[in-house]
Amino acid sequence: MCSGVEVVVSVIDGGPRSAVVVGAGIVGLSTAWFLQERGVEVTVVDRDGVAAGASWGNAGWIAPGLAIPLNEPSVLRHGLRALLNPGAPLSIPPTADPGLWSFLAAFAANCHWPSWTRAVRANARLNAESAEAYDVLTANGVDAPTTEAPITAAFADSAQARSLLREFARMADAGQPVDHTLLTRDELRSHVPLASSALTAAVRVNGQRYADPGAFTQALGRAVVARGATVHRFEVADVRPYSRGATVHPRSGPSVHGEVVVLATGAWLPALARRWGVRTPVRAGRGYSFTVPVDRPVPGPVYLPGVRVACTPYRGGLRVAGTMEFRPPDAPGVHARLEAITASAEPLLDGVRWRERHDVWVGSRPVTPDGRALIGATREPTVHVAGGHGMWGFAQGPVTGRLLAERITTGKQPEALRPFDPLR
């Protein structure tokens, strides 16, 4: 493969000629597109339609340099504080849900450096090809741009900046070096004209990209349909294998069939995948975003690590995204979380009209306890899964689809997918 051009590969003898992809977000649609590229006839199913979930309202970062696994040991301290502080970036509401506490126990058991390092090494393989996978899509009919730009991480003091630099050093030791540059206070003002006087230190993360996530995912959906796919809008009740494939059954109405089925349902993945031997829990780490007008230009994305807020140029304004809230994926949004994001970011950015907040969104990012997604075959050979990317589903969605399509059509496991075995 070269320079964003994907070579069409015909379905090999004995490979599947039809597939049903359940989930019309960036991961599911990317899998559908790359299956089509390999000659597979695809049907897509989603209960809410294209780009209705986390693929719509996220920050839109294609940022392998900041795809840092969540299961860092320090997160345990943040989690304990979050139980006492409703405004904390990490929100763990008191609940009697035994599933959540079981997940949190597994997550805590993975909050140590060896597990974190395994996650970095696994994700490094996806991150290395994430931009190229986007180039393949945009060079072959997906009519939506990605924008190359550094991401500026801005801090209240140099001690906070050193914390990120230590993370980058650990990332490099684990096999994923991050190209970055320390900025002076004046350089910070040049890169982030909205920076207030409260921000005094910054690190520029080079070689990153961003996009309008909803627009890109919708363009990808149009491309998949233009290539012959049918999109059905219904909620899946069951997936049942049969002698030559599997049937996807809705709660009402006619079912659809394929020689293989791919479950790419994000935070809802366990409901359908558990019966096929997928035991790694997936929970909804819900994020919030909104758009605000700005009085000064926004040259590129801004990260505020101290308050865990991501800011992206978006349709002439600024998309502000943040928080990690462990609630059921279909629970209503919590207004206090929006206020907490605003309260934490407002002192750090000037020229932002915070009271004109609009385009409010809450969505569920699928989080695993060990920092690794679930990508590959289940114990039922006709059923595959793709999900659990946490906050990095938009960045890693296309490369996930590309590798999984290779796995499905050739029957051979790409080396890059081995750490993401859904049956681990």
Q: What are the 10-residue block averages of pLDDT along the chain, 424 residues in total?
A: 45 80 98 98 96 91 96 77 67 79 93 96 97 98 97 95 95 96 94 96 98 97 98 96 94 95 97 95 96 95 96 97 92 93 97 97 96 97 97 97 98 96 97
Residue 175 within any structural domain of the chain: no
Residue 7 within any structural domain of the chain: yes
Cβ neighbour number for residue 361 with a 10 Å cutoff: 18
pLDDT at 82: 60
pLDDT at 85: 67
Residue 129 structural domain: 1-73+112-145+210-282+369-424
Q: Assess contact for 284 and 304: CB atoms under 8 A.
A: no
pLDDT at 81: 62
Residue 94 within any structural domain of the chain: no
Residue 317 within any structural domain of the chain: no
pLDDT at 91: 77
* Phi/psi of residue 120, nearest 5 degrees: -60, -45
CATH number for position 49: 3.50.50.60
Which residues neighbour 304 within 8 Å (Cβ) at sequence distance 6 or greater?
153, 154, 310, 311, 344, 345, 348
Residue 15 within any structural domain of the chain: yes
Residue 245 within any structural domain of the chain: yes
Residue 95 within any structural domain of the chain: no
Residue 318 within any structural domain of the chain: no
Number of domains in the chain: 1
pLDDT at 95: 73
pLDDT at 7: 45
pLDDT at 4: 47
Residue 139 structure tokens: 């060079």
